[in-house]
Amino acid sequence: KDLINDAKIVLNNNFQEKGYSIPCKGLYPFQWKWDSGFIAIGLAHYDMNKAKKEIETLLNAQWGNGFIPHIIFHVETDTYFPGKDFHQSELHPLSNRKYPSTGMTQPPVVGFTLEKMYTIAEDKKDVLNFIKNNIDKVYNNHKYFYENRDPQNEGLVYIYHNWESGTDNSPLWDDIWKTMNPPEYEFTRRDTDLVDPSQRPSRREYDHYLHIIEIAKQHNYSDEKIAELSPFLVQDPLFNSMLIKSNDSLISLYNILGKNEDKIEQLQQWQDKSIATFNNKLFDTELGAYIHYDLRNEKPIRFVSSSSFSPLFAGISSKERAKTLVNTMMNKFGSDDMYLCASFDPTSERFNPKKYWRGPVWINLNWILYFGLKDYGFKNIAQRVKDDSIELIKKEGFYEYFDPRKSIYNSEKGGYGGYNFSWSASLFLDLLN
């Protein structure tokens, strides 16, 4: 009971007058795309107007080509780097001048967020009306992805920056960094003043992050040029699972709304092609898991991460393959002394239990895995993911990420990164409902 109340307090404190939520105070002072979706799901449980506002504000920042940016810089502040002056997304001819933003995106979660809001709503008519007024923007966002981010017309879209993945400093990208040799940029990080640097990406990693943006800027954020020149070009199973899940939600919602047959048909076409290629191209039989594909260097990235299991959430794998996936999850991530689910393979030498996306447990990924496992009938493991998430929050509070090693909690703190973190609070509320 008290924690439910605390979660609402976190969300209320992070909700800004302009109608959006910051992920947390200090570290993240703007609106982030995939955070907004996850936050709206929690808000929907007790304040639907705020949930609607959150999504409406995000969609207001959409560009003329359907693109939705990853950060919207609603306020001026020098406490975050890199800010709008570095990103200069206004170089893109179709950018949204009213809402300064980055020129990159994040996983497309808004489709399934809308469906979740509808499911949660007591006043279905009111939420359906909201959906009716906004759903085409989400559809146009998906159209943008399929028309601009799939150069080989495979049904899988690429990300051109690790920040687009959401799993910013995952060891998945280490081999891509080795193909680059960026200059050492002059810049002042702000995040490492706020959080223990051992829990954040390294300075040299930031050089790579900035370098990709410099290349995009040199070409005014042209998708075509980025596809041709970006040293980072990846087909990410997490990103594509979010898109496929959201396609599915849009189909359901358009069906409820009626009419829109043409859009339903188009969504179904994307869906069929995407799911087929996803299974053919992104499943690694030897590892028993879905993996990332490096489109720039035309080679699979053969590591298992929590993203490897996200296709369960989107109904992508066959029942049989789902069993294989769950075996892999339990063998590598599921030993008794570990909380589910580490963000990176704990048996790999690249695993780091403290460092951001190199190992810690993240509540949003756990939320995705919980529903995926549950849908496929893995009740006990789903329950363990849920119980572990709740236990970590009970122990430590609404941290951004958590150490997966159970043993350390006897003597240390295992909650890391930002505190009073919105999506940890919001998805906690959803898991309890």
Contact between 43 and 32 under an 8 Å Cβ cutoff? The reply is no
Nearer to ligand DGY, 254 or 362 (CB): 362
Q: Residue 40 half-sphere exposure, CB side, CA atoms within 13 Å?
A: 31
Contact between 109 and 248 under an 8 Å Cβ cutoff? The reply is no
Amino acid (one-letter) located at 289: A
Nearer to ligand DGY, 78 or 320 (CB): 78
**How far apart are the C-alpha atoms of 238 and 330, rounded to whole Å?**
19
Sequence-ordered list of residues with C-beta below 8 angstroms from that of 339, at least 6 positions apart, any chain = 361, 388, 391, 392, 402, 404, 405, 406
- Rounded to 5 degrees, what are φ and ψ at 412? -135, 170
**How far apart are the C-alpha atoms of 276 and 317, rounded to whole Å?**
10
Helix (H, G, I), strand (E, B) or coil at 330: helix
Nearer to ligand DGY, 8 or 358 (CB): 358
**411: which DSSP letter?**
T
**29: which DSSP letter?**
-
- CB of residue 28 to ligand DGY, shortest distance in Å: 7
Q: Which of 6, 90, 136, 168 is catalytic?
A: 168
- CB of residue 23 to ligand DGY, shortest distance in Å: 8
- CB of residue 324 to ligand DGY, shortest distance in Å: 31
Rg (CA), the chain: 20
Nearer to ligand DGY, 35 or 430 (CB): 35
- Rounded to 5 degrees, what are φ and ψ at 159? -115, 145
Determine whether 400 is an active site residue.
Answer: yes
- CB of residue 272 to ligand DGY, shortest distance in Å: 32
Nearer to ligand DGY, 70 or 142 (CB): 70
Q: Which of 164, 294, 400, 403 is catalytic?
A: 400
Nearer to ligand DGY, 70 or 245 (CB): 70
CA 53, 59, 62: angle at the middle one, nearest 5?
155
- CB of residue 306 to ligand DGY, shortest distance in Å: 16
List of residues contacting ligand DGY (CB under 6 A): 70, 163, 168, 191
- CB of residue 80 to ligand DGY, shortest distance in Å: 7
Neighbour count for residue 263 (Cβ, 10 Å): 18
Token pair in block for residue 278:
């996803």
**How far apart are the C-alpha atoms of 260 and 33, rounded to whole Å?**
26
Q: Nearest residue to ligand DGY, using CB?
A: 163
Contact between 424 and 9 under an 8 Å Cβ cutoff? The reply is no
Determine whether 168 is an active site residue.
Answer: yes
Identify each DSSP E strand in 285-423 by its residue range: 289-290, 292-294, 299-301, 401-402, 415-416
**How far apart are the C-alpha atoms of 312 and 317, rounded to whole Å?**
6
**301: which DSSP letter?**
E
Nearer to ligand DGY, 191 or 236 (CB): 191
- CB of residue 289 to ligand DGY, shortest distance in Å: 24
Catalytic positions, please? 168, 400
